[in-house]
Amino acid sequence: MSDSLSHRLLRGDVRALARAISLIEDEAPEGAALIRTVFPHTGRAYLVGVTGPPGAGKSTLVDRLTEVMRGQGQTVGIIAVDPTSPFTGGAILGDRVRMQQHAGDAGVYIRSMATRGHLGGLARATSEVALLLDGSGRDVVLIETVGVGQDEVDVVRTADVSIVIVVPGAGDDVQALKAGIMEIADIYVVNKADREGAERTVATLETMLGLQRFEPDDWRPPILRTEAVTGRGVPELVQTIERFRAQMTAQKPARARARAAFRLRDMLGERLRRHIEQQVLQPGELEEYVTRIAERKQDPYSAVDEIVKRAVRQNHP
């Protein structure tokens, strides 16, 4: 079943794509087989991560980027990683409405993903969906995420280029950026440049960048100003993305390796943990360990030693 599905997907069939993404989202067993078949045919799409605080204008900007890229004849896939809990879903609707202008354009495929409920982690689910879009022949995949948690940072890490959006007057947000987002930013965008304080925000970012060290050949993240609502500054942003892509060609193998290493380690950890929870420990045993550790009757190091020893013994009796 999933074999013919993967072949239809590889030919660019949109219904097969939608079905395949659902399998990944539902963490269905067919998903792994699907990824296996599609994987050799991927690596062609350019993955653009767009992150920033809630309401920064990410969706509006993604919509504008899509407009410009479509104008260049590129096909686009959009993954909107939705920040709302599964109980509201308000923003999903918002995104849909905002992206109406691309409805009916077969060159644009939009998919929202919930942030909660991915056992294997949001970053993995997102990168697998990006892989499917890549395999189905999309030239560009735009990934919108709210820049808050480690999960979201990991999502952006899987992109080829990371755009970090900041808005004027968000002094605290700019400070908060330092935490993890700054190290992944390839391009800064001060959106809502029509608002007061935009220049001050640019200056703050400049100062923060000034504290970082760059070698002569390094890419120094540029700071752009956009007005997503009117589209002002968006063509320049697209040009900057292209410039980054061109300059990074030489480093592509290194980036690909880093990403592959991250993914392999992540999947190994996940697989081993699941194996131990399901095949080594008896039902309820994990909770017993948790209780002992919480009550300080056992330390976590010796608990892990014990469990790992049992796992090894089980496989080498």
Ligand X SMILES: Nc1nc2c(ncn2[C@@H]2O[C@H](COP(=O)(O)OP(=O)(O)OP(=O)(O)O)[C@@H](O)[C@H]2O)c(=O)[nH]1
Interacting residues toward Mg ion by CB under 5 A: 58-59
Q: Which is nearer to ligand X, 56 or 141 (CB)?
A: 56
Q: How far is the CB of 131 from Mg ion (least distance, A)?
A: 22
Contact map string, positions 11 to 40, toward ligand X, x by CB under 6 A: ------------------------------
Q: Which does 146 bind (CB under 5 to 8 A by kind): ligand X, Mg ion, none?
A: ligand X
Q: How far is the CB of 182 from ligand X (least distance, A)?
A: 19
Say whether residue 147 binds ligand X (CB under 6 A).
no
Binding residues among 55-114 for ligand X as defined by CB under 6 A: 55-60, 83, 91, 94
Q: How far is the CB of 63 from ligand X (least distance, A)?
A: 8
Output the 3-class SS for the chain: CHHHHHHHHHCCCHHHHHHHHHHHHCCCCHHHHHHHHHHHHCCCCEEEEEEECCCCCHHHHHHHHHHHHHHCCCCEEEEEEECCCCCCCHHHHHHHHHCHHHCCCCCEEEEEEECCCCCCCHHHHHHHHHHHHHHCCCCEEEEEEECCCHHHHHHHHCCCEEEEEECCCCHHHHHHHCCCCHHHCCEEEECCCCCCCHHHHHHHHHHHHHCCCCCCCCCCCCEEECECCCCECHHHHHHHHHHHHHHCHHHHHHHHHHHHHHHHHHHHHHHHHHHHHHHHCCCCHHHHHHHHHHCCCCCHHHHHHHHHHHHHHHHCC
Q: Which stretch binds ligand X (CB under 6 A): 129-137, 178-186, 192-200, 215-223?
A: 192-200
Q: Which does 224 bind (CB under 5 to 8 A by kind): Mg ion, ligand X, none?
A: none
Q: Which residue is nearest to ligand X (CB)?
A: 57
Q: How far is the CB of 63 from Mg ion (least distance, A)?
A: 10
Instruction: Catalog residues that contact ligand X under the rule CB under 6 A.
Output: 52, 54-60, 83, 91, 94, 146, 191-192, 194-195, 227-229
